[in-house]
Amino acid sequence: GISFEQADKMIENAISTFSLPLGIATNFQINGKDYLVPMVIEEPSVVAAASKGAKTARQKGGFVATADESYSIGQIQVLDLDDIDEVISKIK
- pTM as predicted: 0.61
Q: What residue ranges do the domains of the chain occupy?
A: 4-67
Task: Give tens-digit pLDDT for 1-15.
Answer: 788 999 889 999 999
Q: CB 35: neighbour CB atoms within 10 A? A: 16
pLDDT tens track for 10-39: 999 999 887 788 999 999 999 999 999 999
> What pLDDT does residue 74 have?
81
With 80 as the cut, is the pLDDT of residue 76 above it? Answer: no
Alpha helix stretches (DSSP H) within the chain: 4-10, 46-58, 84-91
